[in-house]
Amino acid sequence: MDPRSVGHALSQIADFLELKGENRFKSAAYRNAARAILAVQTDDLAPALASGELAELKGIGPATLSTIRELVESGESRYLEQLRSEIPEGLLEMLRVPGLGTAKIQKIHDALGVASLAELEDAARDGRLAKLPRFGPGTAAKILKGITYLRENSAYMLYPRALAESEPVLAAVRAHPGVESAMLGGSLRRRTEIVRDIDVVAACESPERVAAELARAPGVREAEARGSDAVTIQFVDGTVLDLHCVPPESFAVALWRATGSASHEREMIEHASSRGLSLAGNELRDASGARIPVPDERTLFDALDLAYVEPELREGRGEVAAASARALPTLIETSDIRGVLHCHSDYSDGKATIAEMAEAARALGWSYIGITDHSQSAFYAGGLKPDAVLAQHEEIDRLNSSNLGVLVLKGVEADILADGQIDYDQELLDRFDYVIASVHSRFSMDRETMTQRVLRALDDPHVTILGHPTGRLLLSRDAYAIDIEAVLEKAADKGVAVEINADPHRLDLDWRHLQLAKSLGCSFEIGPDAHSTRGLSNMSFGVGIARKGWLEASDVINTLSATEIRQRLRRRRAS
Q: What angle do CA 161, 165, 171 make, to 5 degrees?
A: 145
Q: What is the DSSP letter of 106?
A: H
Question: Residue 487's pLDDT is what?
Answer: 98
How many Cβ atoms are within 10 Å of 564's Cβ, its own excluded? 12
The stretch 461-467 carries a mean pLDDT of 97
Domain spans in the chain, listed from the N-terminal domain onward = 3-153, 157-246, 252-324, 334-574
Q: What is the DSSP letter of 171?
A: H
d(CA 160, CA 541): 8
Question: Residue 517's pLDDT is what?
Answer: 98
Question: Residue 145's pLDDT is what?
Answer: 86
Q: pLDDT category, 424, cuts 50, 70, 90? A: very high
How many Cβ atoms are within 10 Å of 247's Cβ, its own excluded? 15
Q: How far is CA 363 from CA 149, 341, 503, in A?
A: 40, 16, 20
The stretch 504-522 carries a mean pLDDT of 97
Question: Residue 38's pLDDT is what?
Answer: 86
b or e along 26-45 (b: 16 or more beta carbons within 10 Å of the residue's beta carbon)?
bbebbbbbbbbbbbbeeeeb
Question: Residue 260's pLDDT is what?
Answer: 94
Q: pLDDT category, 93, cuts 50, 70, 90? A: confident
* Residues 213, 176 contacting (CB under 8 angstroms): yes
Classify 89 in phi/psi space as left (phi over 0), alpha (psi -120 to 50) or beta: alpha
DSSP tally for the chain: helices H, then strands E: 24, 17
Residue 575 has pLDDT above 70, yes or no: no
| DSSP sequence for 430-489 | TTSSEEEEE--S-TT--HHHHHHHHHHHHTSTTEEEE-STT--BTTTBPPPP--HHHHHH
Residue 573 has pLDDT above 90, yes or no: no
The stretch 152-164 carries a mean pLDDT of 86
Which has more confidence, 225 or 193? 193
Which of 460, 473, 534 lies closest to 501, judged by CA? Answer: 473
The stretch 161-180 carries a mean pLDDT of 93
User: Containing H/E element for 243?
Assistant: strand 240-246
**Which CATH number, 1.10.150.20, 2.40.290.10, 1.10.580.10, 1.10.10.10, labels domain 3-153?**
1.10.150.20
The string of pLDDT tens digits covering residues 441-453 is 999 899 999 999 9
The stretch 390-394 carries a mean pLDDT of 98
The strands making up 220-225's β-sheet, listed across from edge to edge, are 179-184, 198-204, 240-246, 230-235, 220-225
**Which CATH number, 3.30.565.10, 3.40.50.10190, 3.30.420.40, 3.30.210.10, labels domain 252-324?**
3.30.210.10
* Residues 232, 240 contacting (CB under 8 angstroms): yes
Q: pLDDT category, 24, cuts 50, 70, 90? A: confident
Which of 562, 504, 533 lies closest to 164, judged by CA? Answer: 504
What is the four-CA torsion angle of 337, 261, 283, 285, rounded to 10 degrees?
-100
The amino acid at 242: D
How many Cβ atoms are within 10 Å of 402's Cβ, its own excluded? 10
At 305, is the secondary structure helix, strand, or coil?
coil
Question: Residue 504's pLDDT is what?
Answer: 95
The mean of the pLDDT values for the chain is 93
**pTM of the prediction?**
0.84
The amino acid at 71: L
Q: Which residues touch 205 (CB under 8 Å, ≥6 apart)?
A: 178, 180, 247, 248
Q: How far is CA 86 from CA 16, 83, 117, 421, in A?
A: 9, 5, 18, 51
d(CA 117, CA 154): 13
CATH code of the region 157-246: 3.30.460.10
The stretch 303-324 carries a mean pLDDT of 98
b or e along 78-100 (b: 16 or more beta carbons within 10 Å of the residue's beta carbon)?
ebbeebeeebbebbbbbebbbeb
Question: Residue 134's pLDDT is what?
Answer: 87
The strands making up 283-285's β-sheet, listed across from edge to edge, are 278-280, 283-285, 291-292
Question: Residue 94's pLDDT is what?
Answer: 87
**Which CATH number, 3.20.20.140, 3.40.710.10, 3.40.50.300, 3.30.565.10, labels domain 334-574?**
3.20.20.140
